[in-house]
Amino acid sequence: MFVALACGVLFAALLCWVTIFRPYANTPDIRSDGVGYHIWVHGLAHGDLSFCEYRELLDPVNAISSENLEQQRCRVKYPPGVGLLQLPFSLPWLANDPVGTGFSVGEHRVVLWGGALMLLAIACMMYVVLLRRGIHQGLALASVALVTFGTGLFHYGTFDASFSHVYTSFGAALLLWMGTGRRDVTVPWLCAFMLVCGWLYLVRQTNGLLTLAIAYLLFGGIAGPTRWRVWFGWAAGTAAALALQIAYNRYASGATTISSYGNEAFPSFARHSFEVLFSYERGLYTYYPVMLLATWFALRAWRAPASQVLLVCSAIFALLYGSWHSWALGAGFGHRGFVELAPIAMIVLAEGLASAKPFARRLWLAAAAVCCAVTVLAMCAYWRGDLPGAGATRGDYWWSVSPKSLVAKRVQLQYSQDQVRNIELVYAGAQPQPDGRIEVSLRILNHNDAIGLNTSGRLYAPLALSWRLVTDTDAGTGSWDARASLPAIEPKGAGELRIFVMPEAFPRDARWLQVSVVQEGVFWAHTIGVPPLTVDWPAPATGSLIGNKGDGR
């Protein structure tokens, strides 16, 4: 017990150090998807779930899935579960005007420290769960540590604590801690079980599958009324949460739907499932190889309920995310859609190690340690900014998992001036938006024979577009502040990009829109003799150019 206590204290000290000193390049703490989750705190606190007043916060992270113009209601696509847990702790620190000033420092700290505390609670609860399942103390500690650091669990409890994944893992560990070793179901316990299942569904709708799987793991082998009470508890809790989500969708959009994601859908079945599991971009087993080891143990002991849960949930998630229009789930470290399976993986890994003979167990532990080291090295590279959050390539990956990456600064290559001159910009039209912005569509042509654009992750300095509205194309008025990253374009290939122009941010008498290419930190295309693409303003017609001032380059 002393060893376990000492490990717990060391882990808590590590979490405090990471949370206080934040040894990574990531600000603010509430960012990206986290904005969409946290905005529920403000909506619930003020009793107003229309959310349209927060558009300036929500639009940049694509958090609004539909807008009811008649009722002035904007539907937030992210469910309210994360905000519900954050609400009581964030109330004293709420910003009066989050649109004008951003979220308060207190709100950011609540989210960051909350992630660390949940991560510590997950480790403690899963250690107890493993002991209850008959795992030796040393193997229990090793399994918890290997999965915590060998998957994205540690990352999403610290660096990206504003996302939903540590909340789901916390809920899953809580259910396992509540149910492991229990053979009778009392009314208070059943009510708590229903509450956690319902809350988890409101964190992520895919958690309906996870909570059902955990109920099977805990009570599937128990006959009689106990099992049926548990199934009833799961169904009642999940159905209540589903009813709340449907009611909100009806209120915000006027449509009776289950999903809050609007038109986001599954364009093709399992088209990207292989990439979900094995790609350099975001593969589950590529970035979290400990999960591959746990899957191997699950296949060897496939009759065990924990193994069945891990295999079935992994397969369903791989098919689900592989069919989703954004299979990588946006930027992140590894495929974050599987982080919620970390508590299950701890059980499978521990029981797999416990069933091995002593010599084989030592070999498996060594293999697991190597797998864990791969993930930690990649995570460190991600925290330093050497591994991109999106578009990672084979070169990015192997550099990040090399021990050399810890001590050697990565040399960043640059596109040559001739290579940038071979980029052609073509104007493809403009469309006014309800909020006053103008959506401008551009086509980017790469005329280089052997070099791709933004296809090598951080190996090359990134290329971006910048734009301005000007009154005189020769006077150089207006600043090049706006940015949009170029999409990845293969040699002799083409890509499309939409930029959003806010007219009020530019001169009222602006006559032209100019667009130029910039290689960040290196040079601008218009400083090496490439005139900006220049089109009439406002609302130019497709392909309209100003004489020879914008020659498409």
The answer to whether residue 410 sits within a structural domain is: no
Residue 336 lies in a domain: yes
Let me know whether 96 and 226 are in one domain. yes
Helical (H) or strand (E) element with 226: helix 225-253
Domain that holds residue 275: 1-384
Torsion of CA 149, 150, 154, 160, to 10 degrees: 150
Beta carbons of 498 and 440 less than 8 angstroms apart: yes
Q: Indicate whether 353 and 253 sit together in one domain.
A: yes
| Contact call for residues 267 and 325 (beta carbons, < 8 A) | yes
The pLDDT assigned to 59 comes to 87
Q: How far apart are CA 2 and CA 17, in angstroms?
A: 23
Shared domain for 266 and 364, answered yes or no, is yes
Note the pLDDT of residue 505.
59
Residue 525 falls within a domain, yes or no? yes
- Residue 449: helix, strand or coil by DSSP? coil
Are 378 and 445 found together in one domain?
no
CA distance 104 to 41: 12
Query: What is the phi-psi region of residue 454: left when phi exceeds 0, alpha when psi lies from -120 to 50, beta otherwise?
Result: left
Question: Does 342 lie in the same domain as 432?
Answer: no
Strands (E), 433-490: 438-446, 463-470, 484-485
Question: In this structure, are 443 and 306 located in the same domain?
Answer: no
384, 408, 430 - which closes a domain: 384
Do 377 and 486 belong together in one domain?
A: no
| pTM (2 d.p.) | 0.80
Do the domain assignments include residue 541?
no
The beta strands (E) that lie in 359-437 are given as 423-432
For residue 442, which of 462, 459, 461, 425 has the smallest C-alpha distance? 425
Looking at the structure, tell me whether residues 375 and 425 fall in a common domain. Answer: no
Assess if residue 401 is contained within a domain: no
**Distance, CA of 33 to CA of 24 (rounded, Å):** 19
Query: For residue 259, which of 247, 269, 245, 270 has the smallest C-alpha distance?
Result: 245
Q: Are 237 and 306 within one domain?
A: yes
pLDDT of residue 388: 78
Whether 46 is in a domain gets the answer yes
Cα angle: 77, vertex 457, 159; to 5 degrees: 50
Q: Does residue 115 lie within any of the structural domains?
A: yes
The pLDDT value recorded for residue 288 is: 98
Alpha-carbon distance values, 394 to 229, 279, 335, 458 (Å) = 50, 9, 16, 11
Pairing of strands 64-68, 73-76: antiparallel
Q: State the Cα–Cα distance between residues 509 and 31, nearest whole angstrom.
A: 35
Both 380 and 421 in a single domain?
A: no
Within 10 A of 290 (CB to CB), how many other CB atoms are there?
A: 27
The reply to whether 22 falls in a domain is yes
Among 239, 119, 127, which residue's Cα sits nearest to residue 168?
119
Q: What's the pLDDT score for residue 391?
A: 73
pLDDT tens digit at each of 553 positions of the chain:
789 999 999 999 999 999 999 998 777 899 889 999 999 999 999 999 999 999 989 988 889 999 998 899 999 999 999 999 999 999 999 999 898 888 999 999 999 999 999 999 999 999 999 999 999 999 999 999 999 999 999 999 999 999 999 999 999 999 999 999 988 899 999 999 999 999 999 999 999 999 999 999 999 878 788 889 999 999 999 999 999 999 999 999 999 999 999 888 898 899 999 999 999 989 999 999 999 999 999 999 999 999 999 999 999 999 999 999 889 998 899 999 999 999 999 999 999 999 999 999 999 999 999 999 999 999 999 998 788 777 787 888 998 999 887 877 666 678 899 999 999 999 998 888 776 778 889 999 999 988 888 766 666 777 889 888 887 655 555 567 778 888 888 888 888 888 888 766 566 677 888 899 998 778 889 889 899 999 888 755 444 333 333 333 3
Q: Identify which of 130, 331, 284, 304 has the alpha carbon closest to the alpha carbon of residue 220.
A: 304
Q: Please, what sign has the CA dihedral across residues 139, 368, 401, 333?
A: negative
Report which secondary-structure segment, H or E, holds 292: helix 289-300
What's the CATH code of the domain at 527? 2.60.40.3020
DSSP 8-class letter at 459: G
Q: What is the pLDDT of residue 412?
A: 67
Contact 126, 340 (CB under 8 A): no
* Chosen domain end from 340, 359, 384: 384
Residues 365 and 434 both lie in one domain: no
- Closest alpha carbon to 345 in 285, 294, 303: 294
- Are residues 444 and 380 located together in one domain of the fold? no
Count of domains forming the chain: 2
